[in-house]
Structures are given as C-alpha cells and as structure tokens.
C-alpha cells in the first residue's frame, strides 16, 4: 500500500505475517538484488544531546556517500534516534536513495492505518522521510532484528553491503550479531555512546568489525564509500 505523511512524502508499505515473507516484500518494491546496501543500526532512545549532535552530523556525511554510490539504506524505520537523523538527512540533501524501514507492526503507527487495530497500546510513529516500510510480526522491540538483516541481504543480492553502528543498546547488539551471521562487515562509530563505545573499547576478534571515530567525518565517509563500492 502507499501512505502519505503530513509533509507530503509518499512511501510504500508492506505488512508481512511471517518473518520469511520479507524477501517477497523486497520483491514487491522492485529492490531485490538491486544495489549496494548500508544497514543502519543503533540508538533509538538513551542518546544524550551531545551524542545526538555528533550522530546527526556524521549521518549527513553517510547520506552523501550512499547517494553517491547509488546504494540503499535499511534501518528500524521509526521517528527516533539514528532513524530520525537519517530521514532528516535524506530530506535535507534532497537525496533519492531508497530508505527502507523495518519495524514490528504492532508497535508502530502510520497515516491511514486501519481503525480496527488494537487500542490502548503505545505505538511509535514511522519516520516521515523514508521511502519504504516493511512491517513484521512481533510483540516487542528487537523482534524485527533478524528481518532487518534479511532485508539488507535481499536488497544487496550480489552487491556489497555494510552495517554501521552508532550508539545503541541491547537491540543493537542483536542487530550487530545478525549482520555478522550474514557475513556483513560492521563499522562501529566510536564516540557515539553506549554499545558503540563498548565495542570500540573492547572490540571482538573479528575481521568483519572496523572501529572508526565518528568525529573524523572524512575517514567515516571514505570507509563507507570503500565498502559500498566494493573496494
């Protein structure tokens, strides 16, 4: 279905009933195996004002690289933390790259949602500058984690893909684990707080993990470009 936000941005939305259907959803969008992919994971809440300033700045550079390399971004899709930041960066830069949010259907709301959905449950709005959403079954945050990784894999196909971690808590740990299981490299941006800084201080013994200071924007940009370009 197509949804329209108050900002006039239109997005495609698919609701799946099983985790295994996410690949079919990607096909519905015409994105299967289409381009390089950056999977963006990290803090939705628990981000300090100083950390958010760093995150917003560095994500602007990441968005420029994604546009330049004709890649796509996959994230958690809600209007919070790193997901809100990348939506704002996409809009500010007038970028056209696909920005695909993967979220638990029972925990979010969106314009024009069915009126018969269960009432009385707190729901979080989808971010209004995304281009696509895949909503998956579940009852708690983190239930989308495997699907998020699978969507990244489905869009990339034989193209390069990479995960970026900024800040993050226990759900980000799951997201990173699923990326590593998919043999997807993970760029950890140190200086963004919480799990990212924990990994930077004591990185695991893995060739797939690379630590980059978030404040060094040129290095972040060149590192992301190298991965998405397959260099």
The pLDDT tens digits of the residues spanning 186-198 come to 999 999 999 999 9
Contact 73, 98 (CB under 8 A): yes
Mean pLDDT for 112-134 is: 82
Task: Kindly report the pTM of this predicted structure.
Answer: 0.95
Which CATH number is 2-229's, of 3.40.50.450, 3.40.50.1820, 3.30.70.600, 2.40.240.10? 3.40.50.450
The tokens 């917003």 sit on which residue?
56
What does residue 6 show for φ and ψ, rounded to 5 degrees? -65, -25
Mean pLDDT for 128-140 is: 96
Separation of alpha carbons 173 and 109, rounded Å: 25
pLDDT recorded at residue 115: 62
Using alpha carbons, select from 91, 85, 98 the residue that is nearest to residue 155.
98
Contact 147, 134 (CB under 8 A): yes
- Domain residue limits, the chain: 2-229
DSSP 78: B
pLDDT recorded at residue 116: 60
Torsion over CA: 127, 128, 131, 132 (sign): positive
Helix intervals (H) in the chain:
22-29, 49-68, 81-92, 145-156, 170-181, 194-201, 217-229
pLDDT recorded at residue 1: 93
Which pLDDT band, with edges at 50, 70 and 90, does 66 fall under? very high
Residues 98-122: tens digit of each pLDDT: 999 999 999 999 998 876 665 556 7
For residue 161, what are its two tokens? 């893909």
Mean pLDDT for 69-85 is: 96
Q: Is the pLDDT of residue 55 over 70?
A: yes
Which pLDDT band, with edges at 50, 70 and 90, does 227 fall under? very high
Residues 23-45: tens digit of each pLDDT: 999 999 999 999 999 999 998 87
pLDDT recorded at residue 45: 79
Distances 231 to 66, 160, 222, 226, 227 between C-alpha atoms, Å: 15, 9, 11, 5, 6
Mean pLDDT for 172-193 is: 96
Mean pLDDT for 74-102 is: 97
């Amino acid at each position: 279905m197509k949804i329209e936000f108050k900002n006039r941005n239109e997005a495609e939305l698919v609701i799946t009933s099983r985790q295994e259907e996410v690949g079919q959803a990607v096909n519905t969008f015409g994105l299967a195996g289409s381009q390089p992919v950056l999977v963006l994971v990290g803090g939705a809440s628990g981000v300090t004002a100083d950390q958010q300033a760093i995150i917003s700045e560095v994500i602007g550079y990441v968005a420029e690289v994604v546009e330049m390399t004709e890649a796509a971004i996959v994230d958690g899709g809600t209007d919070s933390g790193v997901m809100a930041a990348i939506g704002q960066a996409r809009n500010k830069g007038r970028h056209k790259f696909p920005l695909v949010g993967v979220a638990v259907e029972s925990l979010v709301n969106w314009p024009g949602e069915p009126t018969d959905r269960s009432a009385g449950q707190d729901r979080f709005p989808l971010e209004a500058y995304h281009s696509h959403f895949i909503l998956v079954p579940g009852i708690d945050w983190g239930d989308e984690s495997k699907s998020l990784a699978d969507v990244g894999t489905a869009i990339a196909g034989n193209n390069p893909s990479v995960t970026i971690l900024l800040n993050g808590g226990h759900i980000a740990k799951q997201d990173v684990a699923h990326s590593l299981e998919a043999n997807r490299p993970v760029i950890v941006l140190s200086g963004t707080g919480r799990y990212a800084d924990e990994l930077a201080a004591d990185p695991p013994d893995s060739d797939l993990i690379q630590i980059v200071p978030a404040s060094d924007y040129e290095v972040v940009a060149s590192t992301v470009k190298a991965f998405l370009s397959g260099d």
